[in-house]
Amino acid sequence: MAEVEETLKQLQSQKGMQGIILVNTEGIPLKSTTDDPTTTQYANLMHNFILKAQSTMREIDPQNDITFLRIRSKKNEIMVAPDKDYFLIVIQNPTE
Amino acid sequence: MASVGTHCRRLCRDLGFLPSLPPALLRLTIATSSSGRKPSLHRSQEDFGASDSSSPAWSHRVGPGSPGQAPLLLYLQQRLPPVGPAAFTFVINVVTPAPGHGGKDEVNEEVEPVNMEVMGHPEIYPLVLTTKTQEIFNCRVDEDVTDDQPYKLIKKEDIFEDFKNRGAISDFHPVKKVIQEYPGDEILLVYDKDFKYGLNFYVIGTEEGKENYLNPPEVLEDQEEYKEYSSEEVYIYKAPVSKPWISLGSEKEIEEESVNEATKQTTYMISRKRRKFGAPIKFSDHNASSIKDAYIECTAYPDKNFTLQQVEKDVGMQVIPQIKDRGTQTRWTYPKNATTQYYPREFSEEEKEAVGQSKPFADFFDNVSVGVEIALQQNEIMNTFIDDWKCLAEEEGTFVDKTDTQLKEYQSFTDLHSPMEKMITCVAWHPTIYGLIAVSVAVRLSFEDRVLNSGKLLLQPSLILLWSFSDPIHPQLMLEGPDDIFCFQFCPSDPNIIAGGCINGQIVMWDITAHADRIENIKSGGGRSKKPILKPMFLLEPDSNKEATYIRHCAVSSIENGHRKVITDIHWLADTFEINRMGAVFENRNGICCQLVTCSADCTVCFWDIRPQKALLPQTAEKKKEEVIEIPFDVPSTFLHLDLSWKPLAKVRLSKGETSVDHCPTKISLNESHISQTPDHMVAQDRAGKMEEINPYQNLEGGMAGHLKPIDEFCTKFFVGTEEGEVIYTDWKLERDPETGRLMSKKPVSMHTVHDGAVHTIQRSPFYNDIILTIGGWNVAIWKENVMTGPLLQSCCAPKRYTSGHWSLTRPAVFYVGREDGYIDIWDLLEKTHEPSLSQNICITMITGIKPWPSSSKQQLLAIADHFGTLHILEIPWTLSHPSSNEVSSVQYYFQREVKHLEYVAQRKVIRDKEIKQINMEKERKRSKTYQKSKEQIEAGLKLDYEQYLDLEKTTLISLGLLKISERRSFIDML
């Protein structure tokens, strides 16, 4: 747990960091650095999105799998690192 | 019959055979005949033994039947199973002699054949054939004739032969007549196994019967065949083939059916003279009997000639396909309100903890965090997705040359009608209508001249002029005030309400709602002609309706209770809050701006409420009523309740503290953090107000009524610029003097004298709520609220005095400053902070007012008013109106840096003070040292130790705070 906290802190210290959310495969947030409504919203929406992305990749090539997803928007960038059991969602404002 | 049975049995007993033969085995066949013969019994010779041949063994009368009894022909047949050594059959024949034979013994000749007419077969003649006969004719039972072939054709000659041979004992004897009459050669003999007709054989007496028997009707056979066939057949559709029509007479039927007109039609023509048509007819009553033929009775009677009975009826029939009408409809039900709500699934803290500590979670996070970190750092190093071309274009500017930074003259307005020379005191754009600008004008005179000419001036109206772009000659509206107006402002909630401050200290209210249509129509007119300035004058002249109308003010404040000197600044308070007499802030219930704040040269800041006060004395009410009669009709009654009795809600004196002289405010700036109204919002409000057709200002509730919700964390502090060039940050909240209990205004939070002349501009930045621009005298300063150590920026003295200024509305780094020589200084903080980045000449005289206005996204206008009463409208160049990509943040950053710098300076000051102290001390010490040494060198050595001791003692005491430096000096002096 301490290690996790350490890593979280390290990520948190990155420039333009807006939030880090850890979500399980069911879309339930486990850890978050943002407020509750934002967390719930991101967790739910990104969960749907990443599942769709995953299924898309597997549809194209069943051997393939998604490893990292970066969504660049006008205001920020959302990075999702999916794994078997959990997703890590990071929101960064790169131009800050 | 019973007698016949017993007779037969006796007969059998007599014959010596089987005396105990049961009667059941005796078969008796009795045929009745109409004649009354006695039945005779014959015995076949061959049957009863070969011994007595050629003659009947016995002949016996069956019994004398009663005379009336029907004679019987009794055939008694008995077939016995083989009993004993030999099997034989015997038949007992009871023979009745044929009628007409009389008493003849020749019985066989008289035999009448018996047919089976009774059973419906007159051609069938049953007969008994004995075994012997069967052998003769080859028709032995079960050998020659069987069930399958129960018949035999016997030649007629053979039977005749048999007749000849055997005579009357021939079995065919009973049917001899039939055989003799038989037309054919062969007679059919049928074996009647089931004794259907009573005997074991029968002959068929006719040729047809024989044919029918041998060839039974084929129909039956065919039907059976058909049945068998159809059960197995699979139906195959065969299209009907058209055949040539063969007339079978149906066309005649059709001909008969068709109706033809047989009779010739008769035509009648009835004519009447033209003039008899339409002639007037007069009806009158008559006695029916008085005139001949006046009354004809037509009674109904049945005409015998035409009694037709329906004999035949033609009925037509046609087959049509079955038609059915069907309908279906979903059932209607009541609509029901239903809601559903969901909430996100969440883990509890314990669950989160549990997951967080699990191994897979830690592993996952370790794996993933590296990649994420790399991605994050990539973004930090460089924005990969930046569009270089777009940035390049942004830098270069789109369609306007970047070098073009000059303000361009767009239009100018001068009031040509006023006989006196006037100056513009205040400028304001109409908040919603395009191209409409209001200016207040005042007579350009010094105070002394004004006093001297006061009589003349009274005849002159004091005006606010509303100019429109569409008409550069005539003002659209002229608002008339009691005296020269030095400041005014459109109400943010309703642009038709204007509040102004007069030179005599009165506040004036105008309501131009009645003229709103007029100015809006101008707006549309202005929209149509883009360059109205090019319109020839003579075209504009005839528009007499454009001749300005004077609009009287609808309320002025009371002279006794208001300001005593010229009002220098007026502001509407935001519609979100309101204050009470104590200066405490409450939530505004009306939702519209209904309070004003003014500052005046009489050293006070006043708050005003435009709503009627509750505690109005009846006398004043009466007084008001009188006034109502006095006022002209064209004045709207919006603020009638205020007229001449309006008192300030709260008054704040700006005392200097110890001295009796107070600060003389020229401009004020309130925290407008609650004003977040965009023009759009305002327009919407305005429209809404119009749609409802109810001016909210017409029916304002009494102010301060009921319980108000206080706003606690509201900043009640505000900036004041004074005539002496001070910038004061103070609080409008009044506090009670602890000694006298009177309400006192608070002491200023901070006060700085940075300007070397009267402050004429004090304004918050439209981008940063806490950044304030102050202009006064010869320099400019920028302040940040709550940073009260000094201004963030203070410009050095300009060559000419500044007279006005304004922030740019679109660029946070830009503000415009007007000078007394008619120049405009444009400051761009991003470019230079020590001097204006641009200076441009506008007019020859002092600039008294600057107001920018973003008319559209591409066009921005700047209104500049001068001392000679001319209003210049200039177009702001693209570079000055369009901010660079991140100007807001960079200017913010600049201000932050300045704040840090100020802090640093403050710190340095403390340090410097310390250093100065030390240096002074050092100097002092040196001086004292030299002094002593020069005085007496002998004593020096002795004193030195003591001096050093004293020094040590002093420093220790000073450092302990027990001794002051001044004392030390005196001590040294003493020495």
* A56 contacts chain B (CB < 8 A): no
Site from B349, B353, B361 to mutate, A interface, most A CB atoms within 10 angstroms: B361
Tell which residue, B515, B506, B502, has the closest CA to residue B466. B515
* B348 contacts chain A (CB < 8 A): no
* A67 contacts chain B (CB < 8 A): yes
Question: What is the percentage of chain A residues whose pLDDT exceeds 70?
Answer: 98
Q: Tell me whether residue A8 is in a domain.
A: no
Output DSSP code: residue B655: B
Q: Tell me whether residue A2 is in a domain.
A: no
User: At which residue do the structure tokens 């069911």 appear?
Assistant: A26
Q: Tell me whether residue A67 is in a domain.
A: yes
User: From the CB of residue A1, how many other CB atoms can be counted at a distance below 10 Å?
Assistant: 11
User: From the CB of residue B927, how many other CB atoms can be counted at a distance below 10 Å?
Assistant: 11
B420: left (phi over 0), alpha (psi -120 to 50) or beta: beta
* DSSP structure string for B838-877: EEEE--SS-EEEEEEE--SSS--EEEEEETTSEEEEEEPP
State yes or no: pLDDT of A60 exceeds 90. Answer: yes
CA distance B396 to chain A (A): 21
Tell which residue, B117, B142, B139, has the closest CA to residue B130. B139
* CB atoms A40 and B362 under 8 Å: no
Q: Tell me whether residue A76 is in a domain.
A: yes
Q: Which structure tokens are listed for B860?
A: 């921005």
Query: Cβ distance B931 to B943 under 8 Å?
Result: no
CB proximity under 8 Å: B 258-317 to A: none
* A12 contacts chain B (CB < 8 A): no
Q: Tell me whether residue A12 is in a domain.
A: no
Nearest by CB to residue B372, choosing from A72, A81, A86, is A81
Listing from the earlier edge strand, what are the strands of the sheet with B507-511? B485-490, B497-502, B507-511, B555-556
**Residue ranges of the alpha helices (H) in B515-665?**
516-528, 537-540, 618-630
Angstrom distance (rounded) from CA B10 to CA B13: 5
* A95 contacts chain B (CB < 8 A): yes
Q: Which residue of A has its CA nearest to B379?
A: A94
* Phi, psi (rounded to 5 degrees) for B80: -110, 145
Q: Is the dihedral of CA B76, B80, B83, B85 positive or negative?
A: positive
Query: Cβ distance B11 to B92 under 8 Å?
Result: yes
- Residues of chain B contacting residue A37, judged by C-beta atoms under 8 Å apart: none
Tell which residue, B780, B878, B880, B790, has the closest CA to residue B833. B780
B533 SS3 class? helix
List beta partners, residue A69.
Answer: A80
CA distance A38 to chain B (A): 12
Q: 3-state SS of A20-53?
A: EEEEECCCCEEEECCCHHHHHHHHHHHHHHHHHH
Q: Tell me whether residue A88 is in a domain.
A: yes
Tell which residue, B166, B189, B215, B180, has the closest CA to residue B53. B166
CA distance A21 to chain B (A): 11
Q: Which structure tokens are listed for B778?
A: 């010869």
Q: Which structure tokens are listed for B453?
A: 């000419």
The domain tally of chain A equals 1
* CB atoms B346 and A70 under 8 Å: no
Q: How many residues does chain B have?
A: 975
Output DSSP code: residue B227: H
B827: left (phi over 0), alpha (psi -120 to 50) or beta: beta
* DSSP structure string for B630-646: HS-TTS--TTGGGTTTB
* CB atoms B373 and A10 under 8 Å: yes
Query: Cβ distance B378 to A92 under 8 Å?
Result: no
Mode of pairing for the β-strands spanning B436-443 and B595-600: unpaired
Angstrom distance (rounded) from CA A13 to CA B401: 44
As averages over each run of 10 residues, the pLDDT of chain B (975 residues) reads: 49 46 39 39 38 37 38 40 37 41 40 63 77 78 76 80 77 77 79 76 79 66 48 76 84 82 87 84 81 81 80 82 88 87 85 84 86 87 76 58 72 75 86 85 78 73 83 82 86 85 86 78 46 41 51 81 85 80 73 82 84 51 42 58 76 69 79 46 41 48 53 76 84 70 70 85 86 88 83 86 89 89 88 85 88 82 87 85 82 88 88 92 82 66 86 86 61 54
**Residues whose CB is less than 8 angstroms from the CB of residue B371 and which lie 6 or more positions away in sequence, other chains included:** A67, A68, A81
* CB atoms A81 and B344 under 8 Å: no
* CB atoms B356 and A43 under 8 Å: no
* DSSP structure string for B476-521: SEEEEESS-EEEEEE-SS-TTEEEEEETTS-EEEEE-GGGHHHHHH
* CB atoms B365 and A86 under 8 Å: yes
Query: Cβ distance B654 to B661 under 8 Å?
Result: no
Helix or strand run (H / E) with residue B163: helix B156-166
Query: Cβ distance B606 to B648 under 8 Å?
Result: yes
Amino acid at B7: H
* B390 contacts chain A (CB < 8 A): no
Query: Cβ distance B691 to B733 under 8 Å?
Result: no
CA distance B371 to chain A (A): 8
User: What pLDDT is attached to residue B740?
Assistant: 64
* CB atoms B371 and A67 under 8 Å: yes
**CA terminus-to-terminus distance, chain B:** 202
Q: A-B interface: how many C-beta pairs under 8 angstroms? A: 92
Query: Cβ distance A20 to A88 under 8 Å?
Result: yes
CA separation, residue B697 to residues B450, B580, B871 (Å): 36, 19, 31
Q: Tell me whether residue A68 is in a domain.
A: yes
* A24 contacts chain B (CB < 8 A): yes
CA separation, residue B440 to residues B29, B478, B673 (Å): 158, 10, 28
Query: Cβ distance B798 to B756 under 8 Å?
Result: no
Q: Which structure tokens are listed for B429?
A: 């754009």
User: From the CB of residue B811, how many other CB atoms can be counted at a distance below 10 Å?
Assistant: 25
* B344 contacts chain A (CB < 8 A): yes
Query: Cβ distance B780 to B832 under 8 Å?
Result: no
The pTM of the full predicted model, rounded to 2 decimals, is 0.50
* A52 contacts chain B (CB < 8 A): no
Query: Cβ distance B552 to B464 under 8 Å?
Result: no
Angstrom distance (rounded) from CA B144 to CA B127: 18
Query: Cβ distance B803 to B823 under 8 Å?
Result: no
Angstrom distance (rounded) from CA B347 to CA B801: 69
Listing from the earlier edge strand, what are the strands of the sheet with B462-468? B422-429, B436-443, B462-468, B477-481, B549-552
Q: How many CA atoms lie within 13 A of B830 on its CB side?
A: 17
User: From the CB of residue B357, how many other CB atoms can be counted at a distance below 10 Å?
Assistant: 12
* B365 contacts chain A (CB < 8 A): yes
* A18 contacts chain B (CB < 8 A): no
Q: Tell me whether residue A4 is in a domain.
A: no
- Residues of chain B contacting residue A83, judged by C-beta atoms under 8 Å apart: 364, 367-368
| Angle made by CA atoms B352, B358, B360, in degrees to the nearest 5 | 115
User: What pLDDT is attached to residue B93?
Assistant: 44
Q: Is the dihedral of CA B294, B299, B304, B305 positive or negative?
A: positive
User: What pLDDT is attached to residue A91?
Assistant: 92
Q: Which residue of A has its CA nearest to B378?
A: A94
Angstrom distance (rounded) from CA B513 to CA B531: 28
CATH number, domain of A38, equals 3.30.450.30
Q: Which domain holds residue A44?
A: 17-92
Angstrom distance (rounded) from CA B674 to CA B281: 98
* A10 contacts chain B (CB < 8 A): yes
* Phi, psi (rounded to 5 degrees) for B98: -65, 145
